[in-house]
């Protein structure tokens, strides 16, 4: 697998409403990687071990959504990530793409499949915050991980970033390295206006518009639902519910895995996504 450097993949594009930063690599069918909603989340920080592997087969686009990373800031009272994604596709002359989304990015990808099916060839999610109602196993109200995420937006201290990274993964001592914590903290504090914009809208931000669960059965894109069995941010019962309602879907539950399946089990994730997009 070719080693890719973030600086070499970094690009900006100006859409109708925003200047959006993104990473791009490879050729072929477009695959858009949508990051989660935590402080310090970017296209690169959420997908750095996946971009090189997927770029061997596809044209990979990993944006920083407006409100994160090096993209423009937004007002979360009015921001619609689906509109931002569609503007990005238009600016890059992409008619239809496979969408891969972690957490908030998974939620956005599901909304794309419901609201803009003409732009979605495949749907792949990891840990989207979509739960059954009434709950069977998940908590009523914000999960343990969501609470720590909110606290880190309000107080982006090194201590809170340590707590945030550790709760996102199954094996904190092994995976939550000082380097990863420093990377997330540096990315977040480089754009303090992004932190403030989310913090002032909690708990509505960073998902101001929620999908209509009654329309999950309308999704026509082939769908792969990946979830960590040990996810403490969004429990895997949400993925089981999605698999029960999305017609052409399959679920893959990974043991000893938290909220970041694409990072914690990168090789397995890369194989799953590659095979699915090539053959589904």
Is residue 82 packed enough to be buried (19+ CB in 10 Å), middle (13-18) or exposed (0-12)? middle
Q: Which one of the listed residues 35, 107, 227, 259 is annotated catalytic?
A: 259
Q: How far is CA 193 from CA 23, 39, 66, 67, in A?
A: 22, 11, 12, 9
Neighbours of 48 (CB within 10 A): 18
Q: How many CB atoms neighbour CB 121 within 10 A?
A: 18
The strand pair at 223-228 and 120-126 is best described as parallel
- 61 — phi, psi (to 5°)? -120, 120
259 is catalytic: yes
* DSSP assignment letter at 16: S
66 neighbors 73 (Cβ within 8 angstroms): yes
**Cβ partners under 8 Å of residue 175, min gap 6:** 169, 263, 264
With residue 114 as reference, give the H or E element that holds it: helix 104-115
Q: Which residues are catalytic?
A: 259
């Amino acid at each position: 697998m070719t080693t890719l450097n973030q600086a070499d993949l970094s690009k900006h594009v100006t859409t109708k409403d925003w200047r959006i930063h993104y990473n791009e690599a490879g050729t072929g069918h477009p695959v858009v990687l949508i990051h989660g909603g935590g402080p310090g989340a970017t296209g690169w920080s959420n997908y750095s071990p996946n971009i090189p592997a997927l770029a061997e087969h596809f044209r990979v686009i990993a944006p920083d959504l407006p409100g994160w990373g090096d993209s423009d800031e937004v007002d979360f009272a009015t921001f619609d990530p689906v509109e931002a994604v569609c503007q990005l596709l238009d600016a890059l002359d992409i008619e239809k793409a496979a969408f891969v989304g972690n957490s908030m990015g998974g939620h956005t990808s599901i909304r794309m499949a419901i609201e803009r099916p003409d732009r979605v060839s495949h749907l792949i999610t990891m840990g989207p915050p979509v739960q059954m109602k009434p709950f069977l196993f998940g908590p009523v109200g914000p999960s343990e991980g969501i609470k720590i995420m909110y606290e880190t937006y309000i107080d982006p201290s090194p201590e809170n970033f340590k707590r945030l990274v550790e709760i996102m993964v199954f094996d904190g001592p092994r995976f939550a390295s000082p380097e990863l914590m420093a990377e997330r903290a540096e990315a977040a504090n480089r754009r303090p206006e992004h932190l403030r914009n989310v913090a002032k809208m909690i708990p509505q931000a960073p998902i101001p518009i929620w999908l209509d669960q009654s329309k999950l059965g309308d999704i026509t894109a082939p769908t792969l639902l990946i979830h960590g069995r040990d996810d403490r941010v969004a429990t895997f019962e949400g993925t089981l519910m999605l698999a029960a309602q999305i017609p052409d879907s399959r679920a893959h539950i990974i043991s000893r895995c938290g909220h970041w399946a694409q990072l914690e089990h990168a090789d397995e994730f890369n194989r799953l996504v590659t095979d699915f997009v090539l053959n589904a």
